[in-house]
């Protein structure tokens, strides 16, 4: 393994040198694109080279953290947020209290304005949630706030959430991107259509979006909170990772994300860049569309689970970066089932189950994934491993947006995907991924339905006692594992390559890029 890594390092360094030599521009963006001509660590343009574009810029229609990471807490802000320890903190609401089991009241800040100059108030909060919950708008994220019966403006700076039933993790979802407050004029302009020009209260103002190329934000000069140090932010779409890394070396970019394990040695050997790492709330997994033959038979799904030798994938594909998962919840998430066991590698049991299900000689299937290096490599390992039980796998690789669209509409059999829990609470995972009402873009791309699991998830939402909630989530996870809805792979490891002149960058456990405190030297 070490010999392979040394050889890979040499090849990548040579490739990077060729790419650097062929770059059309070698400017230092922190100085050449600085709109205020500053050379200190205040001001300048931050350039983030990203694998994939956002599928849209409307929080009510986003289905991925990849997209939400661009706008969450940058353009849009919620009533509450999270601090650096992932604890709930006041944001657009100064304080709140639970009046009874189904009523929550929030006192709003009085010094906030939207980017278009209109005042932030209770009516604006109501307008945002009325749009999100409007059946005619048909937001795929409405399911997250299904329990909200009414958002009531009590007075100009007081708003109440009236729920149809008790919902313990309300604050956790109010801190997620779905709860970002949108300017009323923008809601009026776009109505039921997807918002193309986002307007919120955040520290950055939207300038432009060229789909497939770049998104541009400017500093909000009238921001109510701590003033950002940056003048401008560019999110550039750069699908090829070696190009992203070379952009750091030439000064064309400051952050390249995500970073694959295959490029770690290259970044570590660089004089200009370094690796950022942090553990996420979510996990990566192999999923099944349980409504598609032959994966509508749990025995077939179990057989695949027993045929996958996960330790070799963690070592060979991920170079032991990130911990093997036993669930779709990361260990930092409330509700994580520490003692649950994933399927053991057992080819004889896999063959027995396939024969019992009527496939003694295996079958042919497709495995879909996005153009992410580790996932492509994992797909190839899975293809090789499943040959051992007679399953012939056709690997199909797609650009991120196309892959997500296919998964959301159920155009899959097997697939590799991840779920970046946005709230740190099991409800966000369980309700979105496994509840019968969440099929498709809401998150349940397994198209899984189980009445007992639905009931457990619903009971856990209403339960105030933390210990009882844990028990309910453990039971739900055990059923999901027993029915082999998915094969857990790895706890998400947030990784990026960053210029050594960038200070204050982080990726939250939810997977959001945190850039509000960044300075460039």
Q: Can you tell me whether residue 405 is helix, strand or coil?
A: helix
Shared-domain flag, residues 59 and 92? no
- HSE (side-chain half, CA atoms, 13 Å) at 360: 1
Q: For residue 42, what pLDDT is reported?
A: 67
Shared-domain flag, residues 366 and 447? yes
Shared-domain flag, residues 365 and 480? yes
Q: Can you give the CATH number for the domain in which 84 is found?
A: 3.90.76.10
Shared-domain flag, residues 148 and 219? no
Q: Can you give the CATH number for the domain in which 314 is found?
A: 3.10.105.10
Q: Domain residues for 393?
A: 281-493
Q: For residue 21, what pLDDT is reported?
A: 39
| Residue that is last in its domain, among 140, 171, 190 | 190
CB contact at 8 A, 151 and 125: yes
Shared-domain flag, residues 323 and 433? yes
For 12-77, give the DSSP string.
Answer: HHHHHHHHHHT-S----HHHHT-TT---SSSS-EEEEEESS--S-S-TTT---HHHHHHHBTTTB-
Q: For residue 10, what pLDDT is reported?
A: 41
Q: For residue 41, what pLDDT is reported?
A: 57
In this structure, are strands 88-90 and 80-82 parallel, antiparallel, or unpaired?
antiparallel
Shared-domain flag, residues 398 and 439? yes
Q: For residue 459, what pLDDT is reported?
A: 96
Shared-domain flag, residues 377 and 320? yes
| Residue that is last in its domain, among 169, 190, 211 | 190
Q: For every one of its 521 residues, what pLDDT tens digit does the chain have, with 9 covering 90 and above? A: 434 444 444 444 444 443 433 333 333 333 333 333 333 456 899 999 999 999 999 999 998 889 999 999 999 999 999 998 888 999 999 999 999 999 999 999 999 999 999 999 999 999 999 999 999 999 999 988 989 999 999 999 999 999 999 999 999 999 999 999 999 999 999 999 999 999 999 999 999 999 999 999 999 999 999 999 999 999 999 999 999 999 999 999 999 999 999 899 999 999 999 999 999 999 999 999 999 999 999 999 999 999 999 999 999 999 999 899 999 999 999 999 999 999 999 999 999 999 999 999 999 999 999 998 899 999 999 999 999 999 999 999 999 889 999 999 999 999 999 998 888 999 999 999 999 999 999 899 999 999 999 999 999 999 989 999 999 999 999 999 999 999 999 999 999 999 999 999 999 999 999 999 999 98
Q: For residue 205, what pLDDT is reported?
A: 98
Q: What is the DSSP letter of 520?
A: E
In this structure, are strands 45-50 and 232-237 parallel, antiparallel, or unpaired?
parallel
Shared-domain flag, residues 358 and 418? yes
Shared-domain flag, residues 176 and 202? no
CA 95-101-106 angle, 5° bins:
20
Rounded Cα–Cα distance for residues 270 and 436 (Å)? 48
Q: Can you give the CATH number for the domain in which 257 is found?
A: 3.40.190.10
Report how far apart the first and last C-alpha atoms of the chain are (Å, whole number).
38
Q: For residue 401, what pLDDT is reported?
A: 86
The domain total for the chain is 3
Shared-domain flag, residues 126 and 232? no
Shared-domain flag, residues 298 and 253? no
Shared-domain flag, residues 256 and 235? yes
């Amino acid at each position: 393994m070490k010999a392979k890594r040394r050889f890979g390092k040499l090849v990548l360094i040579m490739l990077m040198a060729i790419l650097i030599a062929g770059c059309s521009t070698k400017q230092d963006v922190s100085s050449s694109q600085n709109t205020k001509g500053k050379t200190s660590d205040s001001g300048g343009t931050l350039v983030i080279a990203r694998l994939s574009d956002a599928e849209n810029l409307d929080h009510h229609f986003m289905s991925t953290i990849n997209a939400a990471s661009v706008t969450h807490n940058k353009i849009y802000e919620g009533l509450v947020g999270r601090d650096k320890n992932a604890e709930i903190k006041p944001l657009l609401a100064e304080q709140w209290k639970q009046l009874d089991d189904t009523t929550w009241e929030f006192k709003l800040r009085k010094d906030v304005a939207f980017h278009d100059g209109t005042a932030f108030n209770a009516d604006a909060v109501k307008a945002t949630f009325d749009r999100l919950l409007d059946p005619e708008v048909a937001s795929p994220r409405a399911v997250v706030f299904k329990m909200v019966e009414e958002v009531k403006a009590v007075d100009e700076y007081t708003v109440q959430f009236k729920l149809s039933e008790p919902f313990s993790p309300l604050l956790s979802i109010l801190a997620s991107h779905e709860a970002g407050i949108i300017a009323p004029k923008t809601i009026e302009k776009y109505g039921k259509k997807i918002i193309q020009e986002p307007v919120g209260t955040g520290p950055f103002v939207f300038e432009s979006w060229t789909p497939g190329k770049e998104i541009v934000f400017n500093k909000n000069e009238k921001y109510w909170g701590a003033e950002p140090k940056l003048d401008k932010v560019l999110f550039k779409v750069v699908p090829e990772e070696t190009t992203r890394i070379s952009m750091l070396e030439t000064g064309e970019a400051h952050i390249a994300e995500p970073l694959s394990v295959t490029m770690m040695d290259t970044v570590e050997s660089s004089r200009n860049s370094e690796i950022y790492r942090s553990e996420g709330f979510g996990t990566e997994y192999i999923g099944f569309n349980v409504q598609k033959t032959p994966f509508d038979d749990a025995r077939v799904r179990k057989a695949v689970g027993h045929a996958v030798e996960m330790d070799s994938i963690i070592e060979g594909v991920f170079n032991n970066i990130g911990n093997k998962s036993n669930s779709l919840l990361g260990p930092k998430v409330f509700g994580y089932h520490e003692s649950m066991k994933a399927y053991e590698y057992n080819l004889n049991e896999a063959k027995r189950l396939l024969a019992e299900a009527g496939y003694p000689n295996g079958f042919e299937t497709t495995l879909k994934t996005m153009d992410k290096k580790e996932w492509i490599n994992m797909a190839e390992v899975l293809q090789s491993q499943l040959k051992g039980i007679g399953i012939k796998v056709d690997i199909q690789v797609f650009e991120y947006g196309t892959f997500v669209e296919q998964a959301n509409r159920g155009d899959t059999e097997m697939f590799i995907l991840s779920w970046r829990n946005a709230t740190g609470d099991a409800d966000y995972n369980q309700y979105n991924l496994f509840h019968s009402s969440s099929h498709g873009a809401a998150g349940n791309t397994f198209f899984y339905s189980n009445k007992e699991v639905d009931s457990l998830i619903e009971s856990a939402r209403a339960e105030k006692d933390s210990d009882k909630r844990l028990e309910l989530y453990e039971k739900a996870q055990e059923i999901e594992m027993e029915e082999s809805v998915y094969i857990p792979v790895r706890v998400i490891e947030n990784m990026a390559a960053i210029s050594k002149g960038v200070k204050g960058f982080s990726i939250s456990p939810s997977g959001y890029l945190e850039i509000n405190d960044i300075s460039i030297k």
